[in-house]
Structure 1
Amino acid sequence: MKKLTFAGILLLLSIFLSCKQDRQKVTLVFDNPLIDSCTVDIYHYISGEKLYSTSFTNLTGEWVLDSLPTDMYVLSISWQRMYIPHHMYRSTRNKQDLNEQFILTKNLYLNPVQERTYKVSLQPSLDREKIELTEQPTLSLLPNDCKDCALAEKYWRIYENDKQAKKNNIDALQNKMAEAVNNADYIQAGELNKQIQAESQSGNNSADMERNLKQMIQQNNENPVTSFFVFHELYLYRDFAAYKSSFDQLTANALNSKYYHMIRKQYEKL
């Protein structure tokens, strides 16, 4: 049997340490006792694979997750609906087709090297009944010492702000259309309805969002989180020309991301 050389021992040690680093435990801390009898799932953001699932009699306590590498995930909190919205019931031919699960989701970047404990909170804190009626609460992540996680939250805020701006614009158009109908100006109401439909069906980012996103990429071009968001945009829209300059700006630790290497392979094929 051949003896391992010193270099071989160092290689095996580095592999062991890297594997150990990637398999650190992560703890999610919940403090939402008003939410009872719910299921909590963790999915991989890109593949959609369900990785972990558990249930809570009330959403309080710790959930320890084994073997979660640094990556982007989706946290899902769901429960059996207490109310079926009228618009959902009305638009469904068969009641059996209704989704009777109410679901809250949160995109979360986890980096167990920087932080292994994350607090998930609900703002504002409401019970299930009020959440279903208002649909206002949002899940927030307090990453403590995870700088990469905090950066990911800033990126997602750009998306959330754009979504809210789009909703505000649609609401304003709907108010104008209602006013036009009240004034019997049906031509104007028809034009406004076309604008509402176009805005509702548009899946593209707004010009403001594109500008804010690319500015964020430029300011954080050394961070592997940025590599994920460049990949995310290409994954959604496949517009390689639009993000070539953003890809070229990536440097330092951003080049170590698996998402950077996947993007690079795609550009090499063009």
Structure 2
Amino acid sequence: MKIIVCVKQVPDTSGKVAVNPDGTLNRASMAAITNPDDLNAVEAALTLKEQTGAEVVIVSMGPPPAESMLREVMARGADRAVLVSAREFGGSDTYATSQILAAAINKIGVEDEDIVLCGRQAIDGDTAQVGPQIAEKLHLPQVSYAAEITKEGDTITVKRMLEDGYMTIKVKTPCLITCIKELNAPRYMSVGGIYECYSKPYEIFDYNTLKDDSLIDPTTIGLKGSPTNIFKSFTPPQKGVGMMLEGADKATCDKLAGILAAKHLI
């Protein structure tokens, strides 16, 4: 049994946000981290590994420096990693990215007992589209917004967190599940894991590795083949200093109401 986890290296949006003149993000000058929701998917995979003895395979699409992120994930307990990296894949939107990742997962192989896990969404795009699109391209049943995952034989029971409550769904393997932060608390790297991560299998899938897959169509991958493009990225302007009113009496309330009325907010 394999558990294939898709992860993404993203800019650390809590720090400096750099934007190129054309409106795209200058990722080279920004600190990079592992996408937070993807770490919840990794933790779910490692928990299932402890329960079932499954092999955990990490897959990511990105430039060569993403190897350091994949090594960190292996230091948490993953068994091997695959980096999908080629100039032909650069600039892909969610549609193109899902095609490329689906082709990579096909190359790894999805068998009857296998599970594909993804984070709900990436903090740099916030689309929550790639996971479900991978499932569609691989013709796998999918369950999104997983807040609890339980495996019994070839059946996965998923508790989904919705805006107004929970939904419990049972699905047969193979399947794809997207995970949310409420699912678990990701573990840290261990000292032993850090030592071992550089001896674990690490592969690079380039364009030539995947070009024979039917999903790799040069007209629908990369920047030129993406149906959508980013119009502009920019750093949000800083908010002005707020106004503090002291007191909790009627006079203070009247003053607040007057300010809001003057701004036509009430």
Structure number with the higher helix fraction is 1
TM-score of the aligned structures, taking structure 1 as reference length:
0.28
The structure whose RCO (Cα within 8 Å, separation 6+) is larger is: 2
